[in-house]
Structure 1
Amino acid sequence: MTTPDRETAADFRPVRGRLVAIVIGIAILVGAIALAITLPGQYEIMDRLTCAGIGVAVAAFMSRYATIHARPDARGLHVRNLGSGELVPWEDITAVRFSQGMPWVRLDLEDGTDLAVMAIQRADGPRSVDEAQRLADLVGI
């Protein structure tokens, strides 16, 4: 069996989780701003700014969640979960796990640790199993 071409492989991205994050982020941002504008007169400017600021903070977090991805290339897999992201060289990946009950794929690494790949989420149903297999094929294990 030959390993698929890592250079041209498509990125891994969640579908349902991304959609939910976008909808929730927009709804909370709009709701918080509308609330800040329509608060009764006894509320000061700081109360209004705090309300709007909470909406902005939640929207920023949801935006971060909506941009989760894993990008394969010749050097390895660039995994970007909620943090800054990291490059995992192909040779450091010893296993791809996605057993029943796991919310997302986990990579077993050569140093004995594991890494979540939130870009492949169980919430995406049968598509998630296909994506986990595609990743395992790319890893070549």
Structure 2
Amino acid sequence: MHAPFRPRLARVVALVLGVVVAVATPALVLTIPGEYGVPDLVGFALVGGAIVWFCWRQAGVRAQVDEHGIAVRNLMLSRRVEWAEVVSVRFGQGRPWVQLDLADGDTLAVMGIQRADGDFAAAEASRLATLVALHTRTAQND
């Protein structure tokens, strides 16, 4: 029940693309015709490195849950919230990923559950909503 939430399709695509770019960039830099100078080659390497870094971050998107709350690692930002802070879980039509409504009025995207994963994503959103309901239950709910 406390297994991490990770996207399937986005993770596979990011890992494959990252490996391809990681292999192709040095091959390109080392075999490119001599008309390019050192600054150009460094530029190619930096762009390739940025793409690999982006793919690595995308592949690492997840939400880790435990007894105390949920730690969300999105593409650029990471945040941890306690269960009591989560008001609801939303995954309506048109949403690319799950959103948590928080008690302070803020929302938190959970990119670890992505619409592109179809039925798997719907099941994972339901699992997260169940976890929220279980962990935010009080004597007044019973």
Q: Same fold (TM over 0.5)?
A: yes
Give the whole-Å Cα distance in 1 for the aligned partners of 2:93 and 2:77: 28
Q: In the alignment, residue 95 of structure 1 is paired with which amino acid?
A: S
Match in the other structure for 2:20: 27
Unaligned regions of 5+ residues in structure 2, if any?
135-142
Shift in Å, 1:32? 2.2
Q: How many residues align?
A: 134
Match in the other structure for 1:18: 11
Q: In the alignment, residue 55 of structure 1 is paired with which amino acid?
A: G
Give the whole-Å Cα distance in 2 for the aligned partners of 1:65 and 1:125: 18
Unaligned regions of 5+ residues in structure 1, if any?
1-7
Give percent identity, aligned residues only: 46
Q: Does the alignment pair 1:93 with 2:69?
A: no
Give the whole-Å Cα distance in 2 for the aligned partners of 1:125 and 1:80: 21
Shift in Å, 1:28? 2.1
- Between 1:45-54 and 1:122-131, the stretch displaced more is 45-54
Give the whole-Å Cα distance in 2 for the aligned partners of 1:89 and 1:54: 38
Partners of 1:14 and 1:121 within 8 A in 2? yes
For residues 49-88 of structure 1, the aligned pairs below 5 Å read 49-88=42-81
Give the whole-Å Cα distance in 1 for the aligned partners of 2:35 and 2:104: 59
Shift in Å, 1:27? 1.7
In the superposition, the TM-score normalised over structure 2's length comes to 0.89
Q: Does the alignment pair 1:103 with 2:96?
A: yes
Q: How much is the aligned-residue C-alpha RMSD, in angstroms?
A: 1.3
Q: In the alignment, residue 134 of structure 1 is paired with which amino acid?
A: R
Shift in Å, 1:83? 2.6
Give the whole-Å Cα distance in 1 for the aligned partners of 2:76 and 2:35: 40
Q: In the alignment, residue 80 of structure 2 is paired with which amino acid?
A: L
Match in the other structure for 1:5: none
Q: In the alignment, residue 86 of structure 2 is paired with which amino acid?
A: I
Render the CA deviation track for 1:17-45: whole Å, top value 9, x for unaligned: 00011111122232222221121112122
Q: In the alignment, residue 88 of structure 1 is paired with which amino acid?
A: V
Give the whole-Å Cα distance in 2 for the aligned partners of 1:86 and 1:34: 38
In the superposition, the TM-score normalised over structure 1's length comes to 0.90
Shift in Å, 1:52? 1.5
Partners of 1:29 and 1:52 within 8 A in 2? no
